[in-house]
Structure 1
Amino acid sequence: MKKPIVSVSWLKEHLDDANLIILDATQKINQNKEECPFDDLQIKGARIFDIKNDFSDTTNPLPNTLPNPDAFAKAAQKLGINKDSKIVVYDNLGIYTSPRAWWLFTIMGHENVWILDGGLPAWAKENLPVQKIEKREYTLGNFESQFNPEMVMDKEQILSNINSKEAVLIDARSNDRFSGETKEPRAGLRSGHIPGSINIPYISLLQDGKFLSKEELVKILPQQDKPLLFSCGSGVTACIDLIAYKLIGDNNRKAVYDGSWTEWGQIDSLPIE
């Protein structure tokens, strides 16, 4: 099984690969209000992968909603991405939005995509080339989407799973949000979690902006013999938990509940614990 992450040293050695494209998936604002000292810098030659606008369905009131395959393909083509491109995606918090970008490419059928472990902070720490953030025009690529619907779930499927228990639902939010001890950062949402879900805060899987070792992840992640579903606040950090399970070699089917708590928490008819 191909690992979904690459190291800074790997990327440094492959900078001259003809088909390599580096994508900066940083979001300027994150729900944790984390700040990065590199907010005006990017890896030299990186292209801006704007999850919030270009690679989300902006007609949907929910944030970061999965775009339709045609819209995704057109946005990828504008970045000069081809069917044979090798993509390395990163963000400026180490590991935060880059797993979401990885998941988007994967659900659209593009296999040659990896996450830069440690992201921009790890790259800059090695004094490797960076530049001021710039948005440029690129020669149109020939990327095509081959959408895999099994990698995403909607609220009806999640509701059905509460009773069937066919899959295990994992919530990547912090423990205090999962337990309902603190208010949600988005206004108007109920507090708590989807009945039957288990809590694995994404932050527990990281150290200094990198994923923990496989040995450490195995100690944290409960082994499952059922398909795995992942949820969070808005479908972003759920992808961190998904990647962590891939890193320990877990071959169970995996899908993201794209609406996540932003959707579930605002619909009073849906059950919560």
Structure 2
Amino acid sequence: MLITTTDLNSIINDPDVIIADTRSFKEYSEEHIPGSVHLDLFAFHWIDTTKQGIENFNNQTKNLLSFLGVTPEKKIIFYDSVSGMLAARGVWMLMYFSHENTSMLDGGITKWKKENLPLETKSNGFKPSHFSGEINPEIISGFEYIRDNLKNVKILDARSPGEFDGSIVRAAQSGHIPNSINIDWNQNLNEDGTFKNDEQLLQIYNYPKDTEIITYCQGAYRAANSFLVLKKLGFKNVKVYLGSWGEWGNKLELPAEK
């Protein structure tokens, strides 16, 4: 799920590789990795995980991945400023549609630039496809599943401590999902923006590998980053709560703790 700058540079001209820059268009237009297309994943928020809501998410994501040009033989690489939450969201979305040939650039464009690798400013167009992947329901969660399993699963809150303890309010309710544990996603990264090594990460996520873990944040971007870290460490049963606090915190009938 991770690709190094060296490895990406060696396949940059491969026609079966799609490189997606998930930063803002302003950042993309200033400079980007040669051949990359711009896909601002932060423009797409889904906070409805009712049955109909998930169905809408599936359809919209399928359209988005068709727009990107995903086909079974393509390798899709997402990058961000660092090993960030937007690129992680892209990788998680493809894994959700059972497209395993996907990765994020470890260290993002920051590391790429530090190594004086090539950059360009010209925009690159999409070559759309008709994408129809197979949904993997094992890596997504809605609010009902969490509500009904609050005591049976480990819920991991990837937000900042302030959001977790309720001093930063970003929904009708403040605080966190009951029984959840706060591990800020920033703890996943080294100072240079690459992922920490497995040994360091295992000290943070010190649980049995068969633990069922659900990650969440405000909109399931930071949660996707923590999801990737847990998968990288060999955790088998990890889900992302798609609606995250943007949904849970605005449903007054759901419990919240401070």
State the TM-score, normalizing by the size of structure 1: 0.83
Q: Percent identity, aligned pairs only?
A: 31
Secondary structure (helix, strand or coil) at the match of 2:149 reads helix
Letter in 2 for 1:204: Q
Secondary structure (helix, strand or coil) at the match of 1:132 reads coil
Equivalent residues in 2 for 1:1-273, closer than 5 Å: 4-27=1-24, 40-53=30-43, 68-132=57-121, 134=123, 136-138=125-127, 140-162=128-150, 165-180=151-166, 182-184=167-169, 186=170, 188-207=171-190, 208-224=192-208, 225-250=210-235, 252-273=236-257
Distance in 2 (CA, whole Å) between partners of 1:56 and 1:266 is 15
Change (3 A) 1:168 1:245: same
Change (3 A) 1:133 1:198: farther
Residues 27 and 97, structure 1, Cα contact 8 Å, conserved in 2:
no
Letter in 2 for 1:175: P
Residues 178 and 199, structure 1, Cα contact 8 Å, conserved in 2:
yes
How far is the alpha carbon of 1:132 from its aligned partner? Answer: 2.0
- Say how many residue pairs are matched: 251
C-alpha offsets along residues 196-255 of structure 1, whole Å, 9 cap, x if unaligned?
A: 1111110011112111011111111121342111101111000111111122222x2111
Secondary structure (helix, strand or coil) at the match of 1:129 reads coil
Change (3 A) 1:255 1:121: same
Letter in 1 for 2:8: L
How far is the alpha carbon of 1:13 from its aligned partner? Answer: 1.8
C-alpha offsets along residues 72-129 of structure 1, whole Å, 9 cap, x if unaligned?
A: 3333233332221011111124422111110001101111000100111111111111
Which sections of structure 2, spanning at least 5 residues, go unmatched? none
Residues 35 and 124, structure 2, Cα contact 8 Å, conserved in 1:
no
State the TM-score, normalizing by the size of structure 2: 0.88
Distance in 1 (CA, whole Å) between partners of 2:214 and 2:188 is 17
Residues 94 and 122, structure 1, Cα contact 8 Å, conserved in 2:
no
Residues 108 and 148, structure 1, Cα contact 8 Å, conserved in 2:
yes
In terms of fraction of residues, the more helix-rich structure is: 2
